[in-house]
Chains A and B, each alone.
Chain A
Amino acid sequence: ETGVTQTPRHLVMGMTNKKSLKCEQHLGHNAMYWYKQSAKKPLELMFVYNFKEQTENNSVPSRFSPECPNSSHLFLHLHTLQPEDSALYLCASSQDIGNEQFFGPGTRLTVL
């Protein structure tokens, strides 16, 4: 609906697994973002990419590794996560940094 798609929509993984979240935007935007949404906490910005270059890393643990191969695709690689990493992971894009952000539906991640 918003032009930003995320897969998978739901993911359950063990602490020793490696998985990846995918985000794709069909809006021709130049900036893409990863957010974490936990219960009872505000949306937390994790990473920002502008023209495929990472411009922000909000002190995110190294077990989260982003990848932006082009302006339309954004990945979040997950490795040896903790149960407290269980959350809704949202991807967003904007025309440029500082513009309105359009969000995808999110991936609901559960770490066992």
Chain B
Amino acid sequence: GENVGLHLPTLSVQEGDNSIINCAYSNSASDYFIWYKQESGKGPQFIIDIRSNMDKRQGQRVTVLLNKTVKHLSLQIAATQPGDSAVYFCAEMNYGGSQGNLIFGKGTKLSVKP
């Protein structure tokens, strides 16, 4: 079946370093991808999205890369800060096939060491 998954369940980085969180997806028909951040006690918060007609999109300190050939998505966080500590989820959507519903991965916990 179709699924979205994450390569690493936990990631620990030093403050100031760059972080890379990876995500694999199996539905080649997915055309929209979102990264969410979830801090303890809060709901998921939108970080950045990318559509399948792009391979890179940059935000403030974050960059999402999409490799459709290998069905891989990554989130890069520059100069990681303690406030970046959270669980990060990737989500995929195939608008035509799934009525626009998001399918979430399991999440990667990012811990930032001071």
Write the residues of chain A forming the contact surface with B, with a CB cutoff of 8 angstroms. 2, 4, 6, 31, 40-43, 45, 48, 55-56, 90, 92, 96-106
Contacts and interface: CB of A to CB of B under 8 A. Distances in A.
B109 to A, nearest CB: 12
Interface of B: 4, 32, 34, 36, 41-46, 49, 89, 91, 93, 95, 99-107
A30 to B, nearest CB: 12
A100 B49 contact: yes
Give 10 nearest A-B pairs by CB, closest first.
A98-B100, A103-B43, A97-B100, A43-B104, A42-B104, A98-B95, A103-B44, A105-B43, A42-B106, A106-B43
Nearest to B105: A42
B45 A2 contact: yes
B44 A56 contact: no
A55 B103 CA distance: 16
Contact of A55 (B93, B99, B102, B107): B99
A105 B49 CA distance: 21
A48 B36 CA distance: 19
B59 to A, nearest CB: 13
B92 to A, nearest CB: 11
Given A42-B105, A42-B107, A97 B99 contact: yes
Contacts of A104: 43
A102 B41 CA distance: 16
Contact of A48 (B32, B42, B95, B101): B101
A43 B45 contact: no
A98 B49 CA distance: 12
Given A42-B107, A43-B89, A101 B45 contact: no
Contact of B43 (A31, A90, A97, A99): A90
Nearest to A90: B43
